[in-house]
Amino acid sequence: MFVDLKGKTRIKLSLHTPMGKRSTDEVIEDCIEHGFDAVALTSPWEYQDGKNPYSIKVLSGCEYSVGELSEEYEAFHIVGVGMTSDPEVPSAWRDMKKTAKQKLSEIIKMIKIFTRYIMASSKKYLEFILEQLSGLEEITYRAMMGEYILYYRGKIIGGIYDDRLLVKPVKSAVAFMPDATFELPYEGAKEMLLVDDVDNRDFLAKLFNAMYDELPLPKKKR
C-alpha cells in the first residue's frame, strides 16, 4: 500500500501480468519486490489459478485475443480477472478472423459466468459501432458506468454493454431480428436484444429506422 498526494491510502495492484517464460513463483516474487499488494496472472490463452499461498493477493486470470490485425481484419484483446474457475474458451477461436467480433462477445459471456471483473476495449468498440451508424443522422451517445447508451434522433434506442450492441426489445426490433437472443446489459437490468450483424451498415440503418416510431419519447426535465 502507499499514500497518495492527498493523503489517502491506496492499494497497488497489477491487473494484467503475463507469465511469459517465468514460473508462478518468479512472477509473484517480482511483484512483491516491486511493492504490489495484489496481482492477476494473465497469460495468453492459458488460465492461471489464483489460489496460491503467497504473502500478497493472487487473482486468477487469462488474456484472450481473437482475429488478426491487418488491412482486411481486426484484432481484439480481452482480459478476464478473478475467475472462480477456467471458463474453457476454445483455443481454436484465436485464429478466427471473419467472426472475431462475434467470438469476442461470446468470450465475454463465458467469462461473466465465473466473474464480474472484465476489462475490454469498449471505447474502441464504441467507435466501431458509431462508424457503422454514420449513415444515420443524430446518432449520439452518453457514457454511464463504463458502458454507453445510444440515442437515435433524441430517443434511447439501446447501448453498448461489454462490447455488445444491444437494442430495446420493441416489437419492430423483434420482428426485424426474429432469431436474436435476449441478453442482460448488466446485472439487475431488463433484457435487451443482441444485434449480431454489426458488420452490415445497411442492416443497422434499417433496424434503427424500423424501431424509431416505437421508442418512447425522452422524459421532460422538471
Neighbours of 214 (CB within 10 A): 13
Q: What is the C-alpha separation between 36 and 12, in angstroms, rounded?
A: 5
Per-residue pLDDT 10s for the chain (222 aa) are: 667 677 777 778 888 887 778 888 888 888 888 888 888 888 888 888 876 677 888 888 888 888 877 777 777 878 888 888 888 888 888 888 777 777 877 888 788 777 655 554 467 788 999 999 999 999 999 887 678 899 999 999 999 987 889 999 999 999 999 999 998 887 678 899 999 889 899 999 999 999 999 998 877 655
Residue of 136, 111, 148 whose CA lies nearest to 203: 136
Strand bridging mode 38-41 / 57-59: parallel
Determine contact, residues 148/142, Cβ cutoff 8 Å.
yes
Here the contacts of 25-28 (C-beta below 8 Å, separation 24 or greater) are 28/52, 28/54, 28/56, 28/58
Residue of 162, 50, 147, 48 whose CA lies nearest to 101: 162
For 123, how many CA atoms within 13 A lie in the half-sphere containing its CB?
0
Residue of 126, 196, 131 whose CA lies nearest to 161: 126
Q: What is the C-alpha separation between 42 and 118, in angstroms, rounded?
A: 12
State how far the alpha carbon of 165 is from the alpha carbons of 126, 133, 160, 182, in Å. Answer: 9, 12, 5, 12
pLDDT computed for residue 1 by the predictor: 63
pLDDT computed for residue 222 by the predictor: 57
pLDDT computed for residue 150 by the predictor: 95
pLDDT computed for residue 155 by the predictor: 95
pLDDT computed for residue 71 by the predictor: 74
pLDDT computed for residue 210 by the predictor: 96
Q: Please name the residue that has the C-alpha cell 513463483.
A: 25
pLDDT computed for residue 121 by the predictor: 40
Neighbours of 135 (CB within 10 A): 12
pLDDT computed for residue 12 by the predictor: 83
Domains annotated for the chain, with CATH where assigned, are 2-120 (3.20.20.140), 124-212 (3.30.1460.30)
Determine contact, residues 148/159, Cβ cutoff 8 Å.
yes
Say how many Å lie between the first and final Cα of the chain, rounded.
45
